[in-house]
Structure 1
């Protein structure tokens, strides 16, 4: 019957209690005895008062875990490492979740069981094996469910690159082993477990000598170890004691298994490669029976004696050694030493000789020794006694005949090494380091030439374990063609890739690693192997098996398996890549690296040129593989050239992947950059802070609106054809009602769209129709600019990003930004500011203009899309002029057409002030920039000589009583016309009639006339005695002849303090009338006379003289009298 995850966790906790209780009780009693802690303190840590009265061994798992946590420094720090303390804390969390009936996902359950197994293993509890079986069964179920899900996913296809068609896909050249292709490797986990093999358990690849050597690549170091072992067992040489010492996962256990199977009794000819080694060793045959002893420190407990099948009780490690050498008979030889936990001394040599030839393998010795106490209160003996045994064992092995002792120890680091930390996975805590140091001191006199496999040998180890061997010529040709194509590609584009790719031996590396790219191995063996929990060989095998299985299922057809092809989106691969890292990496992968909604997929979707190659996704995968394990290192990250090495294949352009990297680095939350180096980190970049702040502005849009309005005002300083521009007015009351053309820029709350009822048009209509509570009079003066609804979101986002980066720089001290982050923020702010500048005209691109074709038709709205590189108001002005919807100038002839068309005449004339009012009011009339345009048009029309046919005349005033126009003029330039004046435009017909009548009256007066004035008299300012009749009379009243006057002269005294004002009036009121006459020559002379009673200072004399000369005075001078 299927069990639930809750039940699995409950069973795991039950096994944990059973395995942990003896260890905890033993350590607590030792600490109490040593005075490190007292029992009253211990009892206070029990959450259940009833448990406090019971022995510690009877406490429940919650009490045990709490006790370990609270007394760690006083008790358990000496035996266990800090990684084990982390396990205690984590399991407490799992236990609390289970107690509160919280749901457990399969991943949560797997994590809980794995942590329980690790803690039980750390205390050498046998229950660890049962928990391991539960965990593997759960993983099998998870794998089967994932397999079904993967088959259902239509999108579960591998990334295809644009490589040349001549290169065969790797799947057509080499085949994975069946267990790898099918995914059955999950059950074995590539776990070389010496104890399990010794018990006859485990998978065939480790248990069966023939299968083991078929899948094992014999490195130079392993060959040397096996040859020396053959000679030692055969009695012809070889080292008697060999120490295998590497970092965690360096291949020690695999080497021990090789020795174990070598002396299993299997014929040498059946084990691949052993015949050649025997020839090298000079050993013709091995002894028929070789006793093999296997001692694994974390499988044997110093506190729990082992009971054998016949009832024999074994308490110590040397007792177990004797039992495996010769059974009960051999144990009886050292029975007293086993009972009293004292070192057996030279008796060990006697046993080795008597039961030899023998192979003794000791693995995880530190894990056993660190559990011992200084006092002899454990069945396994005391800490000191154990090292006496170690010395006796090594000395006995050297003196015995045909005995080989092989011991594995964790690698020890210098204090300055990055691995020198008390939570080393294999060493453990303080006591573990002390045990390691003592064992090294005892065994250190033995010279050992064994070393782990090199990276290059690792290629072959992994290749042989994961793939079937290449056997025919076609397979070798396919491999060689791929290697040559890649090598040639790297040499051709040598500036895009790391320098080592140009070397001739890189092609050899490509062949050796085929079908896996060497960069994959380099990253795994160089970067990932620095992780405390990553085992070099097993970790690489587990990961690459998951990768190959996933790619095989998805039908990957790339020529090589590159970092960019590692399917991080596959749950099995992702689990392998994150099991050695913190849980923080999982959401980072989903967001920034490889997931259904990850950023790289969105970028590839938005940019077709990148999406065609899946370039951004490939860059992200390569970056993760190369940077995740070193994100906290001093020299973190990988260079852009190495990123391209992990991505680009022959037939593709490296520049495409450079563009993908640039886009990804500018948008990713967890991707850092420093010069050419890039890396992912669990800490969000300032980009994440900026994203969060930009998101906050959605909920608080006031700063965004204010920034938009500021940007608009700055842009609209260039007003173009408009006298005034109104930016985002709250209502029509804020837009004045006058005669000047104005541009109204609507707020972003009123976007424009093709919908007839769009907000922009409704807002514009409201402003056009009224100013506050009053109707708007001058409606033909307003045009509107609105934001595009489709572009508004992009514009708003750009503004929010700019504000976010600006706020980060403003608060850089408070945020404690380092120089790199400050540089990044400055770069991003500059980029965001550029985006705002570019998107402002893209957003505000709709010009809304009210139009009306005639007084009888309804008002309508026309929308125009603006283009060009000018400022907004300039664009609007250009568009209005091109559509003839704004007139910055107006010809007199055009004005006459409009007067006749509507018509705008009021009888035979129209006041200019009324006409300006009309043009500002009525939308069906041309839209003028301002009323002065109308005045200019009037001046232009009056000055035309063809005024009778094309334009009009001008009059200063109209006398309703007489029906006459005063100051009627035509065909002359009149600067006095102004839109606010009292002047009139007169129809040509009416003007002609009055002029003809005046001419006739003058002729009649002349006929009756009487003489011309004989002398000049003082006249009124007009210069004639009767301006109204236009007839000059002499002083005696006799009419002057009809000859017109041809000369005018006048003299006037000006106010010396306001010369400019008076001269201006004289110019407008006198000189302008005279200069406007045909053929007139007007001469104006300014005469200055100044009297200074006290005399003129020298400096004033000099200044006035120089200025007069500059102003070209005809004559000037100073007089002294």
Structure 2
């Protein structure tokens, strides 16, 4: 289900007029029983029809009204009911429901929710009852109240006057004037005379705690008032159609100090004998109470169910991302009941905020949510539900309403960290559109605030879990990963946000992050930050293919030799998209100079530079890491005092900072700069040009990634073809006058000149020469030159284990061929006396084998010189391995003679092949053509 098919809450649930206009007053949320009784209350409380229309009859209230109905109709019911709930828990509101129902000023059928209660109680004709309202905050212990022609001084005088005016007052006048309590019999007669009657006593403790034992006031004494309450409860029990409802505070703290606590305990003792204790509002019933009071009736139930079903589906499909209770089917029912407010808002307010001393359970929620809804409606909020993440803490009224109940110091927390134009959340969202597009940071921070602010000081387990943060922030169609990442980002950045064991909370005490931020300013860039960056780069970039890695090294300390070196430039020499590239300017100085001296081997340096856009971020991360290191060090050495949780947080933050630095270094140092000199019209440009390559910061091994990038872009050559070597020699070094080139000198040139290839090392050139020596296509080789004569000359004959130095000559192929021809001896014919396979050699003959034919020396006559002037040899070779064997013969034997200037060497090869099945025409044709090409003659086939 997509967001486009779901309607926001403002299109389905319309707030009441006073909420929309913001004209509600705080007093309107405090139901005042006396003002209703006097007829001065607002219509929503004073008008019975409107009151019940906006009142949700909870199960507790239904049972209480049922009992009252039975009592005033003489059908049973509880005579005395004590309403004892948390502060702001709906006591007075419940009394108002009894008040309007018992007085019967309008037909019961007009009161929403009442007819089913009458039917259940079996009441057809509801009698009108006399209703007495005694409000302890309105009575004065020492100021008689003028009623008609009499002055009422005490609670019992007020009770009698409200029951029957002067006639009823006359029955207890003496007790009222003397301040002594009438007996229970007198009270019982009075109640029976004016029954059915309902007595509502609100704020009773607030009145009685004003008396003491020693001082007698117009309203009596402490003892007389306590005695009156005991007598009244007993009298009410004796009258079948009389009922007493009294509200008592739930705790000593709400009762007040000293006498208030004593009065509460005494009244609880007396009421316990006859009371029916009742707690009006269950937690989930508060949903409907708030909705009735703040919103007009919702008629589009289908749209409500669609929205709630989409939330339930989100929670079930995401599973562990959200709290366990969201996986139950009944959570959908909670969503529907609480609509348009998310149940998590109620849970946090009723479970956490209601524990605060001044927060009134129902009244406080109504007052806060009225401000929230007014601001959201005014700002055009289009959330599907009003979630904890929707709370407009940027609004002064809403923020003040919430922090009013909290200890001092929360205003800067909200303003700096949570919500508003200057908050850290807003700043992060403005820089990261991934968060800003859904207000992820602000919604997450508001949720954490709602769930943690009231309970932080006293809880054993601080804060709320990540899954509950997500529950209060995310709507269908949004990705949980965005909000999860936002939470982690805030945990890294905000001053007042704390985290531990997957729980998050705000606190008025600055967390260690503020200490860290302050310490960040202490570190000097030159002495602290740059060395730390260098250390991080050193850990990231190992030696690998490079002979040396130089991190932020001055040019004078980098050797000018043939070793391949990676120079890591300092952060200020960064590379980016700007017109002025500091990296290339700095690197050019390294290329041109070694300290005060010119650098000769310029082609052996490759540079690694920082990305210009990341340098500032890296510097900030380095400072953070150094700050965390100093905090952890001071904590371990007892230079600062931290609790265990903060100590663990500091250690965790240090680990995280180190990981962040390691990642940021890879993301920052990602530019490879390779110097080159370009050719222009066949001439080498005098200016240095730069090729830049970006390396992957996510590579597992950075130096391997550098090697891959260099090789793939041919900025570094590890394997080279002889054709490229030959072409370079032809282009730059072989001329009409100079047809040979020293291999060592060529290697030195590749180290010096930026227009030549950059070889990994000398071995690359060695292997290339060895491969190229196998053919006459590229170059000839010699071990030196004596005048015009090449020493150890070879051409097209493989040579192994060559040494790349100045004695090894690379000879231009045409010149090598001409030289080879010049040293070839004239052919001397020798008769062949012994056919192939002959067993003897004779004077003047030639032995011919598959390995070659060699002249046979003539025996020296007796008496002549014994100096040996001729050599011959004969060998048979396996035709399968003939090529390799013949090469060995040439290298090991023939080369001994060819290296002598005046030695004539003749080699002839005889090939004989026999196949009894015969040779087909294709093979014969191929052999003849190849033989003609290779000048093999004769080359004929014959029959045996």
Please classify the TM superposition score into its range, dividing by the shorter chain length: 0.7 to 0.9
Q: Distance in 2 between matches of 1:643 and 1:369?
A: 46
Call closer, same or farther: CA 1:1039–1:759 in 2, change over 3 Å: farther
- 2:136 matched to 1:296? yes
- 2:234 matched to 1:429? no
Residue pair 1:326, 1:355 contacting (<8 A) in 2 also:
no
- 2:566 matched to 1:726? no
- 2:9 matched to 1:185? no
Instruction: Tell me what 1:245 maps to.
Output: 84
Deviation per residue, 1:638-663 (Å, 9 max, x gap): 5666666656666x37xx22552354
- 2:690 matched to 1:859? no
Residue pair 1:213, 1:273 contacting (<8 A) in 2 also:
yes
Call closer, same or farther: CA 1:896–1:1073 in 2, change over 3 Å: farther
Residue pair 1:245, 1:451 contacting (<8 A) in 2 also:
yes
Q: Distance in 2 between matches of 1:892 and 1:1039?
A: 48
**Secondary structure of 1:581's partner?**
coil
Instruction: Tell me what 1:266 maps to.
Output: 105
Deviation per residue, 1:690-721 (Å, 9 max, x gap): 9637854776675443333223223332331x
Instruction: Tell me what 1:539 maps to.
Output: 364
Q: Where is the helix percentage greater, Structure 1 or Structure 2? A: 1
Call closer, same or farther: CA 1:786–1:1045 in 2, change over 3 Å: farther
Residue pair 2:440, 2:486 contacting (<8 A) in 1 also:
no
- Partner of residue 779 from structure 1, selected from 602, 613, 616: 602
Instruction: Tell me what 1:715 maps to.
Output: 540
TM-superposed CA distance for 1:579, in Å, is 3.6
Call closer, same or farther: CA 1:545–1:754 in 2, change over 3 Å: closer
Instruction: Tell me what 1:922 maps to.
Output: 753
Q: Distance in 2 between matches of 1:545 and 1:506?
A: 25
Deviation per residue, 1:1083-1109 (Å, 9 max, x gap): xxxxxxxxxxxxxxxxxxxxxxxxxxx
Residue pair 1:798, 1:835 contacting (<8 A) in 2 also:
yes
Instruction: Tell me what 2:674 maps to.
Output: 849
Instruction: Tell me what 1:633 maps to.
Output: 459
Q: Distance in 2 between matches of 1:927 and 1:895?
A: 12
Instruction: Tell me what 2:901 maps to.
Output: none
- Partner of residue 405 from structure 2, selected from 551, 560, 580: 580
- Partner of residue 950 from structure 1, selected from 753, 758, 779: 779
Instruction: Tell me what 2:355 maps to.
Output: 530
- 2:581 matched to 1:750? no
Which residues of 2 match residues 487-498 of structure 1 at below 5 A? Answer: none
Q: Say what the alpha-carbon RMSD is for the aligned residues.
A: 5.3
TM-superposed CA distance for 1:254, in Å, is 1.3
Give the number of equivalent residue pairs.
Answer: 833
Gaps of 5+ in 1: 1-160, 413-421, 1004-1035, 1047-1071, 1082-1121
**Secondary structure of 1:580's partner?**
coil
Question: What TM-score, normalized by structure 1, do the two folds share?
Answer: 0.62
Which residues of 2 match residues 359-438 of structure 1 at below 5 A? Answer: 359-373=198-212, 375-376=214-215, 383-384=222-223, 386-395=225-234, 398=237, 404-412=243-251, 424=253, 426-438=254-266
Which residues of 2 match residues 341-352 of structure 1 at below 5 A? Answer: 349=187, 352=190
- Higher mean displacement: 401-410 or 686-695: 686-695
Which residues of 2 match residues 307-386 of structure 1 at below 5 A? Answer: 349=187, 352=190, 356=194, 359-373=198-212, 375-376=214-215, 383-384=222-223, 386=225
TM-superposed CA distance for 1:764, in Å, is 0.9
**Secondary structure of 2:542's partner?**
coil
Call closer, same or farther: CA 1:872–1:1038 in 2, change over 3 Å: farther
Call closer, same or farther: CA 1:196–1:781 in 2, change over 3 Å: same
**Secondary structure of 1:254's partner?**
helix
TM-superposed CA distance for 1:664, in Å, is 1.4
TM-superposed CA distance for 1:249, in Å, is 1.2
Q: Distance in 2 between matches of 1:258 and 1:872?
A: 76
Residue pair 1:850, 1:859 contacting (<8 A) in 2 also:
no
Residue pair 1:234, 1:287 contacting (<8 A) in 2 also:
no
Deviation per residue, 1:1047-1097 (Å, 9 max, x gap): xxxxxxxxxxxxxxxxxxxxxxxxx9997664669xxxxxxxxxxxxxxxx
- 2:587 matched to 1:764? yes
Call closer, same or farther: CA 1:323–1:867 in 2, change over 3 Å: same
Question: What TM-score, normalized by structure 2, do the two folds share?
Answer: 0.72
Q: Distance in 2 between matches of 1:1041 and 1:386?
A: 152
- Partner of residue 561 from structure 2, selected from 732, 738, 748: 738
Residue pair 2:684, 2:755 contacting (<8 A) in 1 also:
no
- Partner of residue 445 from structure 1, selected from 273, 286, 305: 273
**Secondary structure of 1:842's partner?**
helix
Q: Distance in 2 between matches of 1:871 and 1:783?
A: 18
Q: Distance in 2 between matches of 1:514 and 1:896?
A: 83
- 2:36 matched to 1:205? no
Q: Distance in 2 between matches of 1:364 and 1:479?
A: 40
TM-superposed CA distance for 1:746, in Å, is 0.5
TM-superposed CA distance for 1:286, in Å, is 3.9
Q: Distance in 2 between matches of 1:860 and 1:928?
A: 19
Deviation per residue, 1:326-366 (Å, 9 max, x gap): 88998898888778866566697399459955654332233
Q: Distance in 1 between matches of 2:271 and 2:35?
A: 26
- Higher mean displacement: 559-568 or 440-449: 559-568
- Higher mean displacement: 360-369 or 893-902: 893-902
**Secondary structure of 2:248's partner?**
strand
Call closer, same or farther: CA 1:856–1:429 in 2, change over 3 Å: same
TM-superposed CA distance for 1:447, in Å, is 1.9
Q: Distance in 2 between matches of 1:781 and 1:392?
A: 108
Residue pair 1:223, 1:277 contacting (<8 A) in 2 also:
yes
Q: Distance in 2 between matches of 1:496 and 1:870?
A: 30
**Secondary structure of 1:863's partner?**
strand
Residue pair 2:12, 2:303 contacting (<8 A) in 1 also:
yes
TM-superposed CA distance for 1:376, in Å, is 2.1
TM-superposed CA distance for 1:752, in Å, is 0.8
- 2:95 matched to 1:256? yes
**Secondary structure of 1:292's partner?**
strand
Call closer, same or farther: CA 1:968–1:794 in 2, change over 3 Å: same
Which residues of 2 match residues 574-613 of structure 1 at below 5 A? Answer: 574-590=399-415, 593-596=418-421
**Secondary structure of 2:678's partner?**
coil
Deviation per residue, 1:76-115 (Å, 9 max, x gap): xxxxxxxxxxxxxxxxxxxxxxxxxxxxxxxxxxxxxxxx
TM-superposed CA distance for 1:760, in Å, is 0.9
Which residues of 2 match residues 34-49 of structure 1 at below 5 A? Answer: none
**Secondary structure of 1:862's partner?**
strand
Call closer, same or farther: CA 1:992–1:673 in 2, change over 3 Å: closer
Residue pair 1:516, 1:561 contacting (<8 A) in 2 also:
yes
Residue pair 2:154, 2:179 contacting (<8 A) in 1 also:
yes
Call closer, same or farther: CA 1:1044–1:927 in 2, change over 3 Å: farther
Call closer, same or farther: CA 1:812–1:337 in 2, change over 3 Å: farther
**Secondary structure of 2:580's partner?**
coil
TM-superposed CA distance for 1:468, in Å, is 3.2
- Partner of residue 468 from structure 1, selected from 296, 321, 330: 296
Residue pair 2:774, 2:799 contacting (<8 A) in 1 also:
no
Residue pair 1:744, 1:783 contacting (<8 A) in 2 also:
yes
Residue pair 2:434, 2:482 contacting (<8 A) in 1 also:
no
Instruction: Tell me what 1:194 maps to.
Output: 33
